[in-house]
Structure 1
Amino acid sequence: MKTTALKLTGIAFIAMATFFASCDKTETDLNTEAQDQNLAAEIFDEINEISDEAFAKSETLKSEDGMRNFRLGEKTVVTRTMTNAMITIVIDYGTVNDTCADGKTRRGKMIITHTGRFWDGNVTSTFTFENFFVNDNQIKGLKTIVGSINDAKQRTGTITDDGEIILADNAGTISWTSTRTRTLIEGSTTRTKEDDIIKVEGNGSGTLADNSTFSFTITEPLIRKNLNGCAVVPVAGVTKLVLSGGTEIIMDYGDGTCDRLVDVTKDGETTTVDMTGKHRRKG
């Protein structure tokens, strides 16, 4: 089971890694622009999953119920210290690549600081990186989450990302900024993640490896279910993606059915994309 602090990370960080899949129905792989966007979204959003696993593994918050260590390797060391009201978690993958259960290699450190008690009011978590790499792509920047309880007694968090990814093999740099709000609309009273249903709102932008730009806006709140097989792709909601030159892509995630299908509209044409097996660019 999860502690209060652990539950916050579960509701405050929601994956958007599938926002930027290719919408060209003649292609079987992601195009370069979509790959870069997908990589940025996936890496910055999976930080929450790493955080959850680290909190579960740390000494006083240790709990395995509802948790799966996919993103911590066998050699990963997690340390926890407390100074006054601040908890610091250091996730150390070591100086050489550690292959994790999700198939990705990681090295370097992620440092998490956590202040406040969730049920007493606002709580703030910050994430920084020290020579941190995922599949040889270096991650830099800052992630901040401010969580609270809304008037409906639901757990909510405002997430701000400001970072960059230096791609492996001198392939360029991707910048990523976003501000999003996450609200746990179901599952707040339990200590497992699998019954969580989350509403996501917000927007973001960035620069791709070829120096072109993109922006996205969630025009209808995204709904994510943490059920097995559902967590990767939102089950409802609409996102508008604007690429360099003004090209707009509309992604409709459906009516709540867990099917990993997204209706993608580009240049007036709509096609259904099966997001199963869509992968981000590797270094």
Structure 2
Amino acid sequence: MGTSHKMPKEITRAEFIAGLERIDDKGIYPKIPADMPVTVALENLDNGVAFTKRGGVRRYETRTELAEKRRKGRQIPRRGNRPKDQLLDEVRILERVPKTPHPYIVRYLGCRICRGRITAIILESLQWTLRDYAHKRRDKFAQLDKEAFLAGLESAVDYIHSLGLAHNDINPYNIMVREADDGSCSPVLIDFDSCGPFRCRLLSSGTPGFADPEDPELFISLKRHDEFALGRLREWWDEEHQVEQIISESSSSESSSSDQN
């Protein structure tokens, strides 16, 4: 991989090739820890059943980029801040959470392993985030039982807290909607790369709009971050219903006007 300060259309083929650097496995894939058993995912899982989550290769910095940072006196990522460390941290959480599976937490199917390194996390495949469900399936979203749905989500969060962990990034993009054959829907909490033991240091501060901007400890894993986000989620839900009502009333008005003409 590589980077360039030029616009894509300005880069010649020769410049493109010259700017590439090979990334060693050890640069992006964490070793399997000696102190932690790792679940190996089955090989025959298809895309309809499994979702593959890979490490943050886009955030990987090449040797050239790191050398440039050093030359300019900029901070170099320390251990724990690198994409491969973040991938391993999420695996540690997922290996811990599903020992007693919770119905409203994403199903962890294991990891892909190559040459003793973790190359990907395999999770159950779900189609709709709650945010997309609200925007692209408005009729279905309007029929959801808000209290039952959020009660299920809160039970998942309570379970995580009982393990001494906080999710730290609850928002409509990190909640999936699981549709059952009978038409019922339930929440599924996903994305555990910000999850950590209480009081541990975080690399991110949650999602704007669902994290308290006045909290002085946004970069510390705390139960109250989840509690704030759940309260904000209720407000967001009501706001989405108000938008749906406006759209519905507008459509009815246009239909009535068309009939009169």
TM range (shorter): under 0.3
* Rg (Cα) greater in structure: 2
Structure (1/2) with the larger strand percentage: 1
When normalised by structure 2's length, the TM-score is 0.26
TM-score under structure 1 length normalisation: 0.24
By percentage of residues, which structure has more helix?
Answer: 2
